[in-house]
C-alpha cells in the first residue's frame, strides 16, 4: 500500500513565513541598547514580548520596525515593516519594495 501525505494549502513547504516566530536564527530576549555581536546575516532579535530589534554594526540592539517574516529581496511590500530574506539578510520595506537595510532603523 502506498500512502501520500497531504498538506493543506497555506502550510505547504515554500509558504511564506508570516511573523517573527517563523524567522530563522532570531535572537531571543534582546535588550534595548544591550550588547550584541553584529553579523552580516541573521541579525534580528526580539524581546520577551515580541518587539523586533536589529543588531547595529556598532554592536548594540535597537528597535526595528515590526518583523513580519521571511520575504524575497526586491518583492513588493507596503508599510513601515522589516523582514528577513531567505538567506538571512535584514530588509526594510521602502517605496513598496523589500530593500537591504544594513542598520535598519530609519
Angle at 47 between CA 31 and CA 97, to 5 degrees: 105
- Going by C-beta distance under 8 Å and a sequence separation of 6 or more, which residues neighbour residue 94? 101
| Backbone region of residue 14 per phi and psi (left: phi > 0; alpha: psi in -120 to 50; beta: other values) | left
pLDDT recorded at residue 88: 94
On the question of pLDDT at 30 being above 60, the answer is yes
Domain map (residue ranges) of the chain: 18-100
* pTM, rounded to two decimals: 0.78
Average pLDDT over all residues of the chain = 84
Q: Half-sphere exposure (CA, 13 Å, Cβ side) for 23?
A: 30
Using the structure block, give the residue that is written with the C-alpha cell 530576549.
29
Per-residue pLDDT tens for 45-82? 999 999 999 999 889 999 999 999 999 999 999 999 99
Q: What is the DSSP letter of 39?
A: -
What is 71-85 written as a DSSP string? Answer: --TT-B--SS-EEE-
Amino acid at each position: 500500500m502506498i500512502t501520500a501525505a497531504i498538506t493543506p494549502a497555506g502550510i505547504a513547504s515554500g509558504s511564506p513565513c508570516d511573523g517573527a516566530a517563523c524567522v530563522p536564527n532570531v535572537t531571543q530576549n534582546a535588550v534595548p541598547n544591550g550588547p550584541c555581536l553584529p553579523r552580516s546575516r541573521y541579525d534580528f532579535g526580539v524581546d520577551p514580548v515580541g518587539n523586533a530589534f536589529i543588531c547595529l554594526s556598532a554592536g548594540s540592539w535597537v528597535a526595528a520596525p515590526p518583523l513580519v517574516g521571511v520575504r524575497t529581496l526586491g518583492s513588493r511590500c507596503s508599510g513601515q515593516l522589516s523582514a528577513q530574506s531567505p538567506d538571512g539578510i535584514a530588509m526594510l520595506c521602502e517605496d513598496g519594495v523589500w530593500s537591504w537595510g544594513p542598520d535598519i532603523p530609519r
